[in-house]
Structure formats: structure tokens, C-alpha cells
Structure 1
């Protein structure tokens, strides 16, 4: 089925839908991972985005329920060069097209993803519309331009859990910490659109994890008497998220804090810093990051379009990691309080394992606080 793709810069491309009729509008971005497309699709940080995979063949190993990183699929559309509808993998339970249809996400193939990626790198992430229903190029471009975009909007409210839940290999609704035998620390995890592997890794390190809604007050968190606070990833513009920064500020100095991705950005705002939108963002499992404290270089998994401005941070905050592609800030820690964060995803879902040590660092902070 023919599909049209219209970008806000006036570009129009043709493609084929492999999921049937549909239409999707959002911010078009690209991901450079060679595998892990199911983890990409189930990452809430992609909310309201149209994701293009640079690797040309997608779908060849199917999907399965064990590789879900959240309850659903979050991009509005998935763009690939060539879709493989006959997966070869003993773990596969269904093909990618069936999976996307289940969650009403448009999938298209047959476009020049290399050209599209180069255009996004040159022009920046853009508003775009993909449709099998409107075949008028001028109309498709106009409607793409009319979309409100991501800047200044609170996208967390669309994906964050509205209730507290325990992590016991799966989310279980409740407002108390799970009583597992190997749990040494009680951790409250702010759910801004959390990925399951972050919860799995915290549990594997000896934590009992209670996830709370994004707007949970500092008083409510302290009343739970946790050993530490975890700030998760999430979608959109951190400056547009409501009711979070003041709560993080109220927790600083009272408990060890570890932030990832959006959680890192929210912590930067709580320090008194500011954020800005990157031209085309960092999305993929091959981003080089230098740890300034050790001199080591990590290959990291990333998915973000906004960044903390290091020049805006107070003297009490130290930059700990930088991106070696563009020099942007990738990690920071407070010099007085037990609080640190990184822009990338150390939970490697998908991606390399180089940064798992950060979870151990969080454990050490909680041990010292005791």
C-alpha cells in the first residue's frame, strides 16, 4: 500500500505501508542501532516520534514478549528500508507487522532511509506526516508543519504510571516495597516513562524497587523511608514537564539520587541549570562517551533530543562525562550531595554493557549513606 511522507522543509517521499492503512504525525528522528528494534519500539522516550532505522533490514528476528521494555509501543510510526516478514529466530512469537498492528502503529518500508538520515543530520529533527490516506503532497507538507511539535510540551504525563507499583519481575500495583529475600536497599523509582531493564538491573543489584508516579511529592517519597531515589528516562522536553523539579530539589541532600536520560535532565534543572534541544539528537547503541573521572571511553546506548547546558550549571556541580561526537554533556555529579546522573542508558536495552557500573556506584552511595 502506497504511503506519502511529508517533512516540514517541503520534502516529500514515497514508501509502502507493511501494516495496512494509517496516518501518523510527529517528530521524525533516526536510530543507528543494528538490532534491538523491539526495545526501541517499546521505549517510552520515543513518544510522539516517527523512528527511522538506519540499518537496512528490519524484522528478521521477529518479536517476543520477553524483550518488552514497557507495556506498549510508543513511536507513532516506524520507517525501514526493507521489512522482513518471515523471521528466523527460535524466540520469535510473531512478526514485526503483527506486533505493530496490535498497537496501531504505522510501519512503512521502501524509502531511502540513507537519504532521510542525511537530511535529518543536515536540517535537524523535523515535524513530519506519514499517510496512506492523503496523496496530495502539498497537503501532507502543510499538515506536518501544523503539528505543535515537542518543545515546551509535557509528554511524561502520557506515559508515566498513574499509580505506585512494585517491581517483582513484572509491575505489580501496590504502595509498599516488595519483600524479596535478597533485597538490601529500598529504592523509590520516579516513573517518567521508565524502561523495564532499569528496574531489572536495580533488582539484580539487591534493591527492592517501588515505582511512583512522576508528580509524587518529596514528602510522600520521604514517608516511604527509602535508601535512595532513582530518576528514570522519559520522553520530550524536560522544561515542559510539570510538577517534578521542585520535588527533586526537596530531596537533594536527603537521599542518594541517580538519574538517567530525562531523569538526568530533570536533575540538571533542579540544580538550577537549563536545557536545550539538540539538532538531531543522539539515538543508537554506538555513542562514544568519555568518563572524565577515569579517562575511559564507553560505547553507550542513547535516546534523547534534549541536553543539559553545562555552562548553566552552578559551581557545586561537576561534569563527569562528555559525548565524543559533539562534546555535549553526558554526565554530572553534585560536589556536596550524593547525587549523580548520566544522559545515556546504562541499562543497555538495546546496546552495550559498558556503563552497568553506574548502578554499582548508586549502590555504593546508598551504603555510604547508611
Structure 2
């Protein structure tokens, strides 16, 4: 995909964008980093796995190998501190069980806290979700909500749809 594709996609006025998982690191993800920066401020954006890593890197974070190694098909308890009802994790059990399929994470020490805030983590402190401080509709998770291991994954997806509806309602009032 190219920048031209991104420009033509923007002209279609997307209601929301999903930056999905994939192999490799964010710099190998085609136009994902640019999509976060170009569409994130105006369009609800949900990053999953490498999608969260793209969000982190786009705003200055460093992506590193997970200190726990490869986490393919493993479950973890995820804890969250959701601020308000506008988040992806609103209404979930705390903690909840999440399915993980990754070997890279956003490095905690380089997390771009000027732009993003951590909204979820594992017991050992790895970042499992984050959102933009100004653009609350720009959020991502390190785990896989679509995995059968993620017990409340459907709620997370529904929360993203609610985020789209809220953004459209707010935009229509402006």
C-alpha cells in the first residue's frame, strides 16, 4: 500500500479504522504508522497487537522484544485503570483474561507519556493497552480481543463501535 492509497481512503470518510496484527515490527507494517498519525486525530482508531505497537512508535515510543519471550497463544490476567466510559475496556472484569500472540512490546522506559497514557498492564508491568491523551478515540491493545482466550473480547469490540458512534454524535454537534 502507498501514501496514495491512504489519501484516497481518507476521501471516503471512514467511520473507524482498525490497525490489525501482523508479523514483524511497526516499521515493517506498510502504511500503518502513517495511518495512525494522519487519521488518528480525526477518526476513531483501534490498534490490535502490532496496531498498539504502531501507536506507541508513532508517538515516540520504542518497540522491543518482550522480556518474557514469545507469547504466542498464552493467556494473561490484564489489569486496567479505565478513565471514564469512553474506553475500549469499559465494563470488563478487572482483571480479565486476555490471549496474547506477540514477541514485541512498547518499552516501558520510552513510553511516550506526553501523548499517550497506559490504560492496561499485566501483573509483571508490561503495557497491554494505551490511548491518546487528547484524542481519546485513538486506542490500542497488545493482546487479541478476537481470540477465544480473551474472555470478554466481544465487549472490547462493542466498545470500539460505541466509540465510533460517540465520535459521530460529537462531530454532528460541531
How far the C-alpha of 1:239 sits from its partner, in A, is 3.6
Is 1:298 the counterpart of 2:108 in the alignment?
Answer: no
CA distance in 2 between counterparts of 1:302 and 1:219 reads 33
Measure, in 2, the Cα distance between the counterparts of 1:296 and 1:303. 21
Structure 2: which 5+ residue stretches go unaligned? 83-89, 169-174
Q: Which residue of 1 aligns with 2:87?
A: none
CA 1:310 to 1:216, structure 2 compared with 1: closer, same or farther past 3 Å? farther
Alpha-carbon offset, residue 264 of structure 1: 1.1
335-344 or 271-280, which deviates more: 271-280
- The structure number with the bigger radius of gyration is 1
The 8 Å contact of residues 217 and 247 in structure 1, kept in 2 or not, is answered as no
**Structure 1 residues 53-76: Cα deviation after superposition (integer angstroms, max 9, x where no partner):** xxxxxxxxxxxxxxxxxxxxxxxx
Higher relative contact order (CA 8 A, sep 6+): 2
CA distance in 1, matches of 2:5, 2:109: 29
| Partner residue of 2:120 out of 314, 321, 329 | 321
Q: Which residue of 2 aligns with 1:288?
A: 77
Structure 1 residue 220 corresponds to structure 2 residue 8: yes
Aligned to 1:189: none
Q: Determine which of 225, 233, 238 is the counterpart of 2:26.
A: 238
Name the TM-score, length of structure 2 as normaliser.
Answer: 0.79
Distance 1:307 1:216, change over 3 A: farther
Q: Are 1:347 and 2:167 an aligned pair? A: no
Find the counterpart in structure 1 of residue 172 from structure 2: none
Q: Which runs of 5+ in 1 are unaligned?
A: 1-212
**d(CA) in 1 for partners of 2:150 and 2:118?**
23
> CA RMSD of the aligned region, Å?
2.2
Asked if structure 1 preserves the Cα contact closer than 8 Å seen for 2:131 and 2:139, the reply is yes
The offset of 1:321, in angstroms, is 0.6
Query: Structure 1 residues 230, 243: CA separation in 2 closer, same or farther (over 3 Å shift)?
Result: closer
The 8 Å contact of residues 96 and 151 in structure 2, kept in 1 or not, is answered as no
C-alpha deviation, 1:340, in angstroms: 0.5
Equivalent in the alignment of 1:54: none
**Secondary structure of 1:282's aligned partner:** coil
Specify which structure has the higher proportion of strand.
1
Q: CA deviation at 1:223?
A: 1.4
Structure with the bigger percentage of helix: 2
Assess if the C-alpha contact under 8 Å between 1:236 and 1:305 holds in 2: no
